[in-house]
Amino acid sequence: MSNNPASAAHPGKTLTSSGFYVSQDTEIICENPTPTPTSTPPDVLRCAYMELVVTDLAASREFYVDVLGLYVTEEDDQAIYLRSTEEFIHHNLVLRKGEVAAVAAFSYRVRSAEDLDRAVAFYTELGCDVRRAPSGFTKGIGDSVRVVDPLGFPYEFFHATDHVERLSWRYDLHKPGELVRLDHFNQVTPDVPRAVKYMQDLGFRVTEDIQDEEGTVYAAWMRRKPTVHDTAMTGGDGPRMHHVCFATHEKHNILAICDKLGALRRSDAIERGPGRHGVSNAFYLYLRDPDGHRVEVYTQDYYTGDPDNPVITWDVHDNQRRDWWGNPVVPSWYTDASLVLDLDGNPQPVRARTDSSEMAVTIGADGFSYTRPDDEAEMPEWKQGEYKLGHQL
Ligand SMILES: [Fe+2]
């Protein structure tokens, strides 16, 4: 058995004993780059909140508050403002009532008020639709800039926000599946290298990606705060929102959410997991809300804040990249995602991915061989599918 599954596949990168590659080189070849603005980008602190349009506010409240336990900062008959246990800004999630389930904003907090001027200049130079609301677009958030970015996503930047109580010490309120922080967004876009180049111009750093031996990039994870990511770009028809993710403290919190959903006879809300990711090393669970918006619950990724933090590249044929235990990725996880809106509230048109799709190259096309390349001929027939349990689709 070889410990060296594809040593020649990714030149310039070092194969680790864990089976992925590391490098300091985050340069990705992009055939259709967005122009690099001359303006300094805004200094982004972190992903801060998502504004989700939901079609049934009561059903969404039941899911996010009663089942998942997010805290209500404010609510009225049009919108609910929710936060996680450790949050001190007004909200991490806005549920807004609307006709079409979609994402109205991926919102980032910036370091200072001046960074909003920088955001205006940066996106104006890119020719984007740029709007500024000095009193904010949502309750609890001050001066804000919203743009439709070069990839078609509604991005927001803000600094001023109402402070609310951090509930970390309120153990009397905590539940077994406590969601403690907003961790990241995940976006679906047809051209991942183009997305990475634009996000690098915006000041984000790549921490991990998935490539094949030809250099096709299937997904990339990028960060401002010193974790694996604030957002990830997943290759597919887009622009669409793949998921929004909240962190728990421990793995057992995620198991408790599964137990609760089972007890409520709501196990159909579980789409994928629980499991251990290869990418990010985090323990994970994917849920679908009443409108089909995907929510991840996640814990225990790693610190990435040093300037020479190694960039990890996973081979797309490594069947442990998406699940470290080799469990299959359900097809809906690759194909389903939420629409995103322009700044007038209209759904953005979805463009098809032209590069190979990760699902196409890894489900049904893979052998189990990548993990142990010399073993395939010895495997019983029933095991010679793409995953350890054989052909499941
Ligand atoms: Fe995620």
**pLDDT the model gives residue 383:** 61
**pLDDT the model gives residue 41:** 98
pLDDT bracket for residue 356 (50, 70, 90)? confident
d(CA 194, ligand 1 centre) in Å: 20
The pTM score is 0.94
d(CA 106, ligand 1 centre) in Å: 14
How would you classify the pairing of strands 205-211 and 311-315?
parallel
Cα dihedral across residues 296, 299, 301, 303: positive or negative: positive
121-170 residue pLDDT tens = 999 999 999 999 999 999 999 999 999 999 999 999 999 999 999 999 99
d(CA 233, ligand 1 centre) in Å: 10
Is a pLDDT exceeding 90 seen at residue 9?
no
Greater confidence, 382 or 21? 21
d(CA 378, ligand 1 centre) in Å: 35
Q: Using CA atoms in the order 322, 84, 50, 271, what is the torsion angle rounded to 10 degrees?
A: 40
Name the average pLDDT for the chain: 92
184-226 residue pLDDT tens = 999 999 999 999 999 999 999 999 999 998 889 999 999 999 9
Lowest mean pLDDT among 28-37, 66-75, 115-124, 168-177: 28-37
**pLDDT the model gives residue 362:** 75
d(CA 1, ligand 1 centre) in Å: 32
**pLDDT the model gives residue 11:** 86
Closest-CA residue to 267 (of 254, 275, 277, 258): 258
Greater confidence, 267 or 392? 267
pLDDT bracket for residue 373 (50, 70, 90)? low
d(CA 270, ligand 1 centre) in Å: 15
pLDDT bracket for residue 256 (50, 70, 90)? very high
d(CA 320, ligand 1 centre) in Å: 16
**pLDDT the model gives residue 10:** 86
d(CA 50, ligand 1 centre) in Å: 14
d(CA 187, ligand 1 centre) in Å: 10
166-185 residue pLDDT tens = 999 999 999 999 999 999 99
Three-point CA angle 118, 122, 126, nearest 5°:
165
Is a pLDDT exceeding 90 seen at residue 89?
yes
d(CA 191, ligand 1 centre) in Å: 19
The residue assigned the tokens 């049009």 is 78
d(CA 379, ligand 1 centre) in Å: 33
**pLDDT the model gives residue 278:** 96
pLDDT bracket for residue 5 (50, 70, 90)? very low
Neighbours of ion ligand 1 (CB under 5 A): 186, 245, 296
272-292 residue pLDDT tens = 999 999 999 999 999 999 999
d(CA 3, ligand 1 centre) in Å: 28
d(CA 376, ligand 1 centre) in Å: 31
Contact in structure between 155 and 149 (CB atoms under 8 Å): yes
d(CA 62, ligand 1 centre) in Å: 23
Closest-CA residue to 301 (of 279, 330, 281): 281
